[in-house]
Structure 1
Amino acid sequence: MRIGFIGLGIMGSPMAANLLKAGHVVTGYDVSPQRVDQLAELGGKGVASAVEAVAGAEIVITMLPDSPQVEEVAPLVIEYGRPKLLYVDMSTIKPETSRWVARKAAEAGVRTLDAPVSGGERGAIDATLSIMVGGAAEDVEAAGPVLRTLGTTVVHVGPAGAGQTVKAANQLVVGGIYGLVSEAIVLLEASGVDPGAGLDVLAGGLAGSRILELKRHTMVKREFNPGFRIDLHHKDMGIAVAAAREAGVSLPLTGQVAQLVAAARAQGHGSLDHSALLKVIERLNA
């Protein structure tokens, strides 16, 4: 298929690369010319604007940092897209923004899906992302072959905006687990127990998780090279807290995790991996 891809960052670049490997024709744009050049080196077509990426595309995918960027790019996709274009926004943004995009697109005859992902940079590279999709069932089916190129778990979770609500739930769970793993490391070390051995046991039992599987060794070594930055998780926790307010529910643990992530950012760790939440828990115990 002819795919326009806008947003070639840590997640978008490997996702676009996997689409190329699957035989799709990918035209890509990013604010960084270097990233555009990297796509061209892989066999894609790099262009100098979002409008050029949209031109002639059957599907347009956006993978952008936050709601303001989507609000800026979505009208261009809608205005310059071909009739019956399928626009799949895979950014993590506010559910209300996804619903706004869907309304605007419907007025112009453009089909939309909100399809945020979980799995981090490793999942994007390995094409093992978990993709939560909001929108019409027939549009999810149409996008299925492309989405299954990018992830191993693709689930239609409801109407427009539902994908973003599920992603908010995902991020509050991920943040909470990072916080608890951080506390476990601090407890083990303070008690004179080898944290590596301790976490190996936890990973094999009921406490096991994907985070323990992928991150326990780097956390113990204090290696926080970003797969998903604290800055982005801070943004996502804000979305989760706002979604809870909109739904009229109380999520006390989510509020606590949001404050810990905010503290990590305030302490200057925004560019580090979100497993750097450990640095906040350590500071509390210094």
Structure 2
Amino acid sequence: MAYKDYYDTLGVARSASEGDIKSAYRKLAKQYHPDKNAGDDKAAERFKEIGEAYAVLSDAEKRKVYDTYGHSGQVPPGAYSGAGGADFSGFGGADGSQFSDFFQGLFGRGGRGGFGAQGGINLEDLLGGAGMGGQGGIGGGRRFVQNVEGELQVSLQEAYAGTDETINVDGKRISLRVPAGTRDGGRLRLSGQGPGGGDVLLTVRVLEDARFELDGDDVSVTVDVPVHVAALGGQARVPTLKGDVTLSIPAGSSGGRQLRLKGQGWPKKGGGAGDLYARLNLTLPVQLSEQEKALYAQLADLRK
């Protein structure tokens, strides 16, 4: 598998600030969002790569590990001992693609989550107990009951509506349900599904959607409205987490005005949902015809 640079994926420098990374992600996610590129497999793959890159670079600890080892493709023997005292010396002269595969597995590339032993990375689980030290891998191939922690990435719409997912843990496929209304950072426990009968503890990471902003239970979205519709009144299409709806725009609406769609926000714990606020962004034609220019000139004269 070819090594991919997460900084290149987001188009930012390695010295980029947290704000720079977030801004680049929002711009690219909006550009390659599946809703804007229906049927485009390349755009869908690009959208996935953008999400994976952001999941690593937006997390301080993951970014630190990535910055240390992610660019050279080589891990010096004994350089890291987070796996119960085991180091990476078993890779020896591993090439960049081998290390890239390991790193991608650690952070979830090729799937939607990465897993490690609670309190550290468990290389025996990640690498199947092979090729790391003596016979049978780490600890002679012994298996211990332990909890396994990992992250599961879902889109904003999947977190809103709930989604069924399948993950791989210790060579076993496990099906699970992410409940509707799950928040970023929410925890799921799969009892008895870990190595030796331990638990699988998942932290849900909800990928940002460039169209929507969450504030508690409320959701905000920007809606482009032609200036004549804002002036005279009319209708506009508004994206919601359930799908697009038609919104009536009152005559005389100004840019920045917010219209509330009751109950179209994020699900509440006790039932019901927050509200969605459509923020109006007035738009003009890119090019005006001579007739349109004349009409705007007449309007300007009337407003003097």
TM-score, normalized by length of structure 2?
Answer: 0.26
Higher helix proportion, which one? 1
Structure showing greater relative contact order (alpha-carbon pairs closer than 8 Å, 6 or more residues apart): 1
Higher strand proportion, which one? 2
